[in-house]
Amino acid sequence: MHKSTAELQAEIEVLENGMAQSSATPDRIRIYQNTIAKIKAIIQQRQAAAQSTAASKPADVPVYRQTGPTNIKIDVTPGPKPGMTIDLHEQRAQHMPKVEFEVSANLSATRPTVTINWSDGTQSTHTEGDARSKFTSILRDLNNSNLAEQGRFDQIPTYRTYDRAKAYYKALAAFWGHSPTARELEIIPLSMRKATIFNMIVADCTNPPDI
């Protein structure tokens, strides 16, 4: 979705507020700073293109003004009603238990697997391909969430979906023996938004924030 310059500037403000939070780790601050730099570069490119267009526009181009009535269509999206299903990503972690997990690996077997012990007492065992598929799917969901579209990256870690993404990423790290990159996981190229979320997950798995 193509965002206006005003929306991009609003994203910068949200990221700057996120950096000021006491829970922001140095790694997360660095990720926010990189994202802000990319957004500012996009804004500068737009401004340069607009100036170039204005300079090349003939001065004698006639301007036509519409004097009659104009029909304007306004789409109104109603808010959630009682009993309605709302976006999973809009349910805060404090309203539901946070997803806790432990990862154990069995890499010496003929078919190497990693088991995730979830906080609800259940287990799930995965091959590398299965863990990668689930991580990629959750990363896509986070990228398409309302929070990500609004640039509220500092709020994304408070959601259960983010916790599950960390669990599958740690499972992948157990297979690889290190924190795998996006290139190693073959999920490139990443959009700026998805890259920001991916880097946040990596940072929180290797250097968990004190929350």
Q: Could you tell me if residue 190 is inside a domain?
A: yes
Global pTM reads 0.62
Q: Could you tell me if residue 127 is inside a domain?
A: yes
Q: Could you tell me if residue 162 is inside a domain?
A: yes
For helices 26-56 and 5-19, the axis angle rounded to 10 degrees is 160
* For residues 119-135, average pLDDT: 91
Does 50 have pLDDT greater than 50? yes
Closest CA to 16 of 29, 5, 25: 29
Q: Distances from the Cα of 194 to the Cαs of 109, 120, 125, 149, 197, in angstroms?
A: 34, 29, 26, 10, 5
Per-residue model confidence as pLDDT tens digits over 80-107: 334 333 344 444 444 445 677 788 787 7
Q: Distances from the Cα of 152 to the Cαs of 10, 15, 31, 86, in angstroms?
A: 10, 7, 13, 18
Cis peptide before 189 (omega within 30 of 0): yes
Count of domains observed in the chain: 1
Q: Could you tell me if residue 56 is inside a domain?
A: no
Q: Could you tell me if residue 74 is inside a domain?
A: no
Give the bridge partners for 103, in sequence order: 116
CB 32 within 8 A of CB 11: no
Q: Could you tell me if residue 199 is inside a domain?
A: yes
Q: What is the pLDDT of residue 1?
A: 54
Q: Could you tell me if residue 68 is inside a domain?
A: no
CB 161 within 8 A of CB 174: no
Does 48 have pLDDT greater than 90? no
Domain with 139, as residue range(s), is: 5-51+96-206
Q: What is the pLDDT of residue 37?
A: 85
Per-residue model confidence as pLDDT tens digits over 153-206: 999 998 889 999 999 999 999 999 999 999 999 998 989 999 999 999 999 988
Q: Could you tell me if residue 60 is inside a domain?
A: no
The pLDDT confidence band at residue 18, using thresholds 50, 70 and 90, is confident
